[in-house]
């Protein structure tokens, strides 16, 4: 369906029935099912210096860690045995040959361990097309790389001005991922300093134009050890950022009915049941953190990141109950691949 700009502006900023509409639209298009991706935060080492992020290269206060292969495999096995269906490997950006090889081996081992059944999402930053190929061949299914903002000028304001952080490279990376055959996910931060309402409307049209398969977007959350903290007086309140994120999720569900949309952890940093509210309003994926509890606190992209010290079984029980209270089933044992991807690959099936 083609959306006019005025229509999207009305939905996003005015429609009082938006969340409800998206709720029903979700049921009709992807069903009332929440798919799980066990999130493994592999390492907080990063070669980049994004001005908003707590684990940026120059933040000397960040205590750096990297999980061992055994820890990663153990977490993946946990996901498999508990019928998560998929895992997501996320980390700061690194590009060395050794690192690339290590990821390749890990992906292979995780696929093998699960008899090929566990879906694998990677969120490991910008790489060369060859690397994307290599990881795909090893068994990765999906790749998440947020555009952060579709406004090139705003992108320049929230990143250092150097060849490592260009908007053009980011776009090229998304194109390479698509050509490599991944289910491609992108997304934005909502409520960044200098971001306008027009930018948010543009972000939605950007995702539509890029024909993405998955989306993960969340509120921007300030972190005191980052350069962007200086502009905290310009920000909307956290509650406003939260509400706007729910509206972005709901509007995107209406614009792209069959994509996967994640209810992101940053929502939970503002509202304890923020992710469940997003699931009700159109999202259909959640990424429970299954990183070993000892390193979780160090993977701190933003402040107030929810870090539970309860063991996984206890956390899960209450999370699963809350998901079910939104009216969703949980897609245990299912990869929960993007239907949008399936249909663009085989147009005659849908
Ligand atoms: N290094 C990889 C993956 C880890 S960062 C990458 O950058 O793609 C994953 C996401 O965390 C980023 O895309 C960004 O959107 C989000 N993030 C970083 N700092 C944040 C902050 N202060 N508030 C909200 N989200 C943040
Ligand atoms: Fe590194 Fe990702 Fe943070 Fe940028 S957003 S500094 S690439 S971890």
Instruction: Give distance in angstroms: CA of 79 to centre of ligand 1.
Output: 23
Residue 109 corresponds to which tokens in the numbers above? 């081992």
Indicate the helix (H) or strand (E) that contains 120.
strand 119-123
Task: Please report how many Cα atoms fall inside a 13 Å half-sphere around the Cα of residue 221, on the Cβ side.
Answer: 21
Task: Determine the straight-line distance between the first and last CA of the chain, rounded to whole angstroms.
Answer: 14
Ligand 2 atom closest to the Cα of residue 44 is: 8
Predicted TM-score (pTM) of the model is 0.97
Distances (CA, A) of 93 to 55, 86, 168: 10, 22, 17
User: For residue range 192-229, what is the model confidence (pLDDT) as tens digits?
Assistant: 999 999 999 999 999 999 999 999 999 999 999 999 99
Q: Which residue's C-alpha comes closest to atom 7 of ligand 1?
A: 125
Ligand 1 site, residue 125, Cβ cutoff 6 A: yes
Ligand 1 site, residue 302, Cβ cutoff 6 A: yes
Question: In sequence order, what are the residues at sequence separation of 6 or more whose Cβ sits closer than 8 angstroms to the Cβ of residue 117?
Answer: 80, 333, 335
Ligand 2 site, residue 189, Cβ cutoff 6 A: no
Q: Which of 56, 189, 235, 241 to mutate to test the pocket of ligand 1 (most atoms within 8 A of CB)?
A: 189
Contact between 66 and 294 under an 8 Å Cβ cutoff? The reply is no
Dihedral of CA atoms 71, 73, 76, 80 in degrees, nearest 10, equals: -130
Instruction: Give distance in angstroms: CA of 331 to centre of ligand 2.
Output: 30
**Positive or negative, the Cα torsion across 85, 36, 22, 15?**
negative
Instruction: Give distance in angstroms: CA of 196 to centre of ligand 1.
Output: 20
User: For residue range 307-346, what is the model confidence (pLDDT) as tens digits?
Assistant: 877 777 777 889 999 999 999 999 999 999 999 999 998 8
Partners of residue 339 on adjacent β-strands: none
> In the predicted model, what is the mean pLDDT of residues 82-96?
98
pLDDT the model gives residue 348: 62
Is 350 a residue whose pLDDT tops 60? no
Ligand 2 site, residue 160, Cβ cutoff 6 A: no
Ligand 2 site, residue 225, Cβ cutoff 6 A: no
Rounded distance, CA 288 to CA 324, Å? 15
* Closest by CA position to 336, among listed 245, 277, 262: 262
* Closest by CA position to 220, among listed 34, 54, 10: 54
Ligand 1 atom closest to the Cα of residue 228 is: 22
Is 274 a residue whose pLDDT tops 70? yes
Residue 208 corresponds to which tokens in the numbers above? 């539509």
Ligand 1 site, residue 262, Cβ cutoff 6 A: no
Q: Which residue's C-alpha comes closest to atom 8 of ligand 2?
A: 92
Ligand 2 site, residue 56, Cβ cutoff 6 A: yes
User: For residue range 147-184, what is the model confidence (pLDDT) as tens digits?
Assistant: 999 999 999 999 999 999 999 999 999 999 999 999 99
Q: Which of 42, 89, 125 to mutate to test the pocket of ligand 2 (most atoms within 8 A of CB)?
A: 125
* Least confident stretch, 134-138, 157-161, 292-296: 292-296
User: For residue range 61-73, what is the model confidence (pLDDT) as tens digits?
Assistant: 999 999 999 999 9
């Amino acid at each position: 369906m083609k959306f006019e700009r005025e229509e999207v502006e009305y939905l996003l900023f005015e429609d009082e029935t938006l969340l409800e509409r998206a709720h029903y639209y979700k049921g009709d298009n992807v069903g009332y099912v929440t798919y799980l991706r066990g999130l493994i935060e592999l390492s907080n080492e990063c070669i980049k210096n994004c001005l908003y992020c707590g684990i940026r290269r120059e933040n000397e206060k960040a205590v750096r860690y990297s999980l061992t292969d055994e820890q990663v495999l153990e977490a993946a096995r946990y996901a498999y045995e508990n019928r998560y269906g998929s895992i997501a490997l996320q980390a700061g950006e690194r590009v060395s040959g050794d690192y690339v090889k290590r990821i390749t081996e890990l992906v292979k081992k995780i696929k093998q361990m699960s008899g090929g059944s566990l879906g694998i999402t990677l969120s490991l930053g910008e790489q060369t097309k060859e690397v994307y190929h290599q990881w795909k061949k090893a068994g990765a299914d999906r790749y998440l790389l947020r555009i952060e903002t579709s406004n090139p000028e705003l992108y320049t304001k929230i990143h250092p001005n150097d060849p490592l952080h260009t908007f053009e490279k980011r776009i090229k990376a998304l194109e390479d991922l698509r050509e490599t055959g991944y289910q491609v996910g992108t997304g934005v931060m909502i409520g960044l300093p200098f971001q306008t309402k027009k930018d948010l409307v543009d972000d939605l049209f950007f995702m539509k134009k890029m024909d993405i398969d998955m989306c993960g977007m969340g509120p921007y959350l300030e972190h005191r050890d980052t350069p962007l903290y200086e502009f905290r007086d310009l920000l909307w309140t956290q509650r406003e950022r939260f509400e706007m994120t729910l509206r972005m999720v709901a509007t995107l569900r209406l614009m792209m009915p069959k994509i996967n949309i994640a209810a992101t952890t940053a929502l939970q940093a503002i509202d304890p049941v923020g992710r469940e509210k997003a699931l009700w309003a159109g999202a259909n994926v959640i990424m429970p953190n299954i990183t070993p509890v000892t390193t979780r606190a160090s993977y701190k992209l933003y402040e107030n990141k929810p870090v539970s010290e309860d063991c996984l079984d206890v956390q899960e029980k209450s999370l699963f109950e809350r998901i079910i209270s939104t009216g969703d089933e949980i897609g245990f044992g299912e990869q929960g691949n993007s239907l949008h991807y399936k249909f663009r690959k085989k147009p005659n099936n849908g």
